[in-house]
Structure 1
Amino acid sequence: MDWIHSLGLFFGSLIANTLASLSGGGAGLLQFPLLLFFGLPFSIALATHKVASVALGLGAAATHLKQKSFTLQEAAYITVIGSIGVVIGANLILKIPADLAERLLGMMILALGIYSHFKKQLGQQVKPIHRNWQGWLVGSLGLMFIGIINGSLTAGSGLLVTLFLVRWFGYSYKQAVALTMICVGFFWNGIGGIAIVQAGASIYWAWLPILLTASFLGGALGAYLSTRFSNKIIKQCFELLTLLVGLKLLV
């Protein structure tokens, strides 16, 4: 790559990961299409994007852990349950029609964004619900399903996790975004990257330094902004990103 393309890849990835870290997902909205635009085949671009996204979670982790807005037990639960789905999804990606799956996901994300928009008080305050053994069990099924989406598709699964945590368990948007960045951004994407490589895809190592740097800086910047903004602003950013991601997957 010449320096112009390198700068384009860096700033595109930085913007995507900053928005994702602030809103709770959606880094693949811009980063993955950039990799395709610069010439990577689908499976190689997907594996490269998954590995680079690990730096997004790492960049956001330090800021969110300092806030102590969730327990390590909650993070471990989301990580372990979702990772099972991630491995399943990574092995399904080569066997299902990607276009159909992405359109269905796009419709789902759009619907969730619209739902959030009309639920004005959703995620504005912490309202713990479904945090008994029955609730955690049903929540496991939802998280595992989203994990399958994360392992097999390129964008949107973090947004699904964010809204699921808000709606099912009663977290605020700030808490949900923090959990999503650490559990999905770091652990799910890391496990997904390993699983998709084992399933037969390759990583384009030459671009990883640029992507890892931009993802880390974007994760750190977005996490910093999320601690400064109110739940209302984060909710609005989430809804905007669901609109963009949903339309991108549909078109």
Structure 2
Amino acid sequence: MDWINTFGLFLGSFLANTLASLSGGGAGLLQFPLLIFLGLPFSVALATHKVASVALGIGAAFTHIRNRTFDYRVALYVIAVGSIGAVIGANIVLLIPTDIAETLLGLMILAIGIYSRFKKQLGQQETPNHRTRTGWFIGGIGLMIIGIINGSLTAGSGLLVTIFLVRWFGYSYKQAVALTLICVGLFWNGIGGLAIVQAGAPIYWPWLPVLLLGSFAGGSLGAYLTTRYSNQFIKVCFELLTFAIGIKLLL
């Protein structure tokens, strides 16, 4: 690429990952279509995007670990159950009708955004819920299903994890976003990306350094902003991104 396209790729990656880091997911809203627009085939763009998204988790992890905004034991739990689903999803990504799957996911994400908008107090404070053996078991099944979506589709699964942690387990938006970025951005996407490559989708290595830099910088900035703004602000960002991604997937 010439320097103009290289800068455009970096800027798109940076903006996408800043928004994702601030609201708990959705980097694929801009980054994945950008890779296709610049000429990569679907499967190559998906594998490249998944691997690059790991830098989002790394960038966000530094800030959230330093500020201790999440529970390590819960993070290990989310990583374990979700990674299983991510591997399953990565191995079926080329077998499912993408248009139908993305339409259904778009409807689901749009509905989540509307639900959050009408639930004014949702995620404003931590209200522990379903944190029993049965609750963790059922929650693990839900997260595993979201992991399958993460491995097989391009955008939106992080938002599903964020709202699931808020609604099922009663975490605040800040806590849920921190867990999502570390578990989904760093581990689910990394494992899913490797699984996609093993399934036969190659990574386009020449563009990866620029994407990694944009993802890391955006993840770091977004995580920093979450420590400076309120749960209400993060909730609004989450809702705006769910509306945008839901409409994008539908159209």
TM-score range, shorter chain: over 0.9
Whichever residue aligns with residue 78 of structure 2, its letter is I
Match of 1:213 in 2: 213
- The aligned counterpart of 2:198 is 198
Specify the alignment match of 1:81 in structure 2. 81
CA shift for structure 1 position 71:
1.7
Counterpart-to-counterpart distance in 2, 1:149 and 1:98: 11
8 A Cα contact 2:159 2:242, kept in partner: yes
1:25 aligned counterpart, secondary structure: coil
In structure 2, what residue type is equivalent to 1:61?
A: A
Q: Within the alignment, does 1:104 sit opposite 2:104 as a pair?
A: yes
User: 2:132 is aligned with what amino acid?
Assistant: N
The corresponding residue for 2:71 is: 71
Q: What corresponds to 1:47 in structure 2?
A: 47
Counterpart residue number, 2:250: 250
Give the Cα separation in 2 of the matches to 1:75 and 1:196.
Answer: 23
**5+ residue gaps in structure 2?**
none
- State the alpha-carbon separation in 2 of the partners of residues 108 and 71 from structure 1: 28
Question: For residues 13 and 106 of structure 1, what CA distance do their matches in structure 2 show?
Answer: 21
TM-align CA RMSD: 0.5
Identity %: 73
The TM-score normalised by the length of structure 1 is 0.99
Displacement of 1:147 after TM fit? 0.1
The answer to whether the Cα contact below 8 Å between 2:64 and 2:70 also exists between their aligned partners in 1 is: no
Q: CA deviation at 1:166?
A: 0.2
Give 1:37's aligned residue: 37
Quote the residue 1:143 is aligned against. 143
Q: Which residue of 1 aligns with 2:60?
A: 60
Could you tell me which residue of structure 1 aligns to residue 236 of structure 2? 236
How many aligned positions are there? 251
Mark the runs of 5 or more structure 1 residues left unpaired by the alignment. Answer: none
Counterpart CA distance in 2 for 1:232 and 1:102 is 29
Aligned residue for 1:7? 7
Residue 162 of structure 1: aligned partner? 162
* Aligned-partner Cα distance in 1 for 2:19–2:53: 13
Hey, what's the Cα distance between the residues in 1 that align with 2:30 and 2:176?
22
Structure 1 position 113 matched with structure 2 position 113: yes
